[in-house]
Amino acid sequence: MVANPIARGSVQSLGGVTSFVAIDYSGADVTLTRIPRGIVCSTAGTLVCRMADDTTDTTLFLNAGQIYPYAISIVRKIGTTSSMGLYAGY
């Protein structure tokens, strides 16, 4: 599992998302260096990803503008809607 700088036992782990970082999966699959607290997209679509503690991929259907509390480690290029405007929340 990818390390998360916020310890699970800390009070900070109870807080919400404090920043968003764009995920550019246009060239290839993206392995996230940190596990996000949530995912949001600017256009509705399909996301093929690997959840943080899983060994197989998952297909998710996302609506635009909604923050989903998914902890993902990999975003797959194949099967994910292109130009979805995908962001990881930390």
Question: Given this model, what pLDDT does residue 1 score?
Answer: 45
CB under 8 Å to 57, separation ≥6 — which residues?
48, 49, 50, 74, 76
Q: What is the pTM of this model?
A: 0.83
What are the pLDDT digits (tens) for 30-88?
999 999 999 999 999 999 999 999 999 999 999 999 999 999 999 999 999 999 999 99
* In the predicted structure, residue 12 carries a pLDDT above the cut 90: no
DSSP3 helix / strand / coil % (the chain, rounded to 5): 5, 35, 60
- Using CA atoms, how far apart are residues 17 and 39, in angstroms rounded to an integer? 10
d(CA 39, CA 21): 10
- Selection from 72, 76, 74 nearest residue 90 by Cα: 72
For the chain, which residues make up each domain, given as ranges? 16-89
